[in-house]
Every structure is written in C-alpha cells, then in structure tokens.
A and B are shown apart, each in its own frame.
Chain A
Amino acid sequence: DIQLTQSPSFLSASVGDRVTITCRASQGISSYLAWYQQKPGKAPKFLIYSASTLQSGVPSRFSGSGSGTEFTLTISSLQPEDFATYYCQQVNSYPLTFGPGTRVDIK
C-alpha cells in the first residue's frame, strides 16, 4: 500500500498569511494526487486534482504542485473560510489512500 504523510499535522496562521502543506508518498505516484478541504461536521470538498489542477469554482489562492513523491498545497493569502483540515489522497493504485490531514487553525 502507498502511505501518505503530511506536514505539518497542525499549523496556526493568521488571515492573509501564505500557507504551505506538504504531502509525501511512500513511493512514486506520478501526478495522481488530490487535495480536499474538510470543515468540522461537513463532508470533504474537492480542491485540486492531478496534483496541480484547480477544481472548477475553487478560489485561485489555492494551488498545488509536485510529482513523484513530494507534493505541496499552497494557500497564497489565507482567508477566514480557509480554516479547516486538509487531506491529500493518492489515486495511483489500490487501495486508494489519504494522508492523515493537516489542521489549519486561526492564530
């Protein structure tokens, strides 16, 4: 199975900050990676696929990059509605796996 790790697991940031979350895969997954945002008590929301393609309707302050084993999600200017937990997911091979999540809190 492909294991995904995320760092940091928790970060505290202020509105307007630039935030970067890293996702590392235990083996190469090309660009077969997605990012999701989840708020408490809500379903995950699809943000980015193929490592760097923004899903329709997602604000342009979100961006993704990387390939192989290392990927990043960047929020260029954190907004109040961005405080949430972010998960990466690999779709390269079964079983599909998610990272453990990165919680972004208000400083």
Chain B
Amino acid sequence: EVQLVESGGYLVQPGGSLRLSCAASGFTFSDHYMDWVRQAPGKGLEWVGRSRNKAKSYTTEYAASVKGRFTISRDDSKNSLYLQMNSLKTEDTAVYYCARGLIVGATVYFDSWGQGTLVTVSS
C-alpha cells in the first residue's frame, strides 16, 4: 500500500525557515516524480513544486510564488522528499501535501497524497 507521511509543520515567524519532510513507503520511490501542493485555510489547491525522478536527474520545477525561497530535494536511500522553506511570508500559511506522480505518456498526475502538515507563518 502506498503511504506518504508529511511532517515538520510548525508555527514560524515571518522571515523564518522551516523544512518539511515526506516519508514514502509501499512503492519504488526512486521511480517516481514527487510534488508538493499546498492549501491555505479555506482556500483551493496550489501547486508548489516538483522533483523529477532519478531517470530525469532529480531536476526540479517551482511555482513563481516560491521560486528562490523554497527548495525541493529528495533522498532515495531514505525514501524521503523534502521542502526547505526560507524567507517565509504570512501568505505561505497552508497545509502542505506531498503527492506521488503517476507518469502517463508525457504527463504526470498526482495519484497518491499524504495527509498534509500545517505550516503557520505568523508573528
């Protein structure tokens, strides 16, 4: 069974940093693209960024709203995905989900999601 478990969410002050983790199990982690998606309280879903798989050299993509502040990394030996968040803003307050990528032809869909971890940015 595919399982994704996020952790690391916390209350942090504006300008601060935080590192989220996503522990994966039940599948061959290195084969998959992995993404972060966030949801501000009471709002819709917003894609944050992507880590491609080993075959694609772990290259990354980011939403404009986080580019230069957030960094996605992974450790396939630990079946883990990370999101390093720096220079946090109040508008980064959200539940952060990690999602597994399902490769279909030239595209990727999110076929499994973690339960999410809440990041609150407030003074």
Chain A interface residues (CB < 8 Å from chain B)? 32, 34, 36, 38, 42-46, 49-50, 55, 87, 89, 91-92, 94-101
Contact = CB atoms under 8 A, between A and B. Distances in A.
A103 to B, nearest CB: 11
Nearest to A29: B107
A101 B44 contact: yes
B40 interface: no
Which secondary structure dominates chain B's binding surface?
strand
Contacts of A99: 44
Given A43-B116, A49-B102, A91 B109 contact: yes
A94 B35 CA distance: 13
Interface in B88-123: 97, 102, 104, 107-116
Contact of B114 (A43, A46, A97): A43
A55 B97 CA distance: 20
A87 B61 CA distance: 22
B111 A46 contact: yes
A49 B45 contact: no
A95 B64 contact: yes
B76 interface: no
B47 interface: yes
A46 B110 contact: yes
Contacts of B112: 46
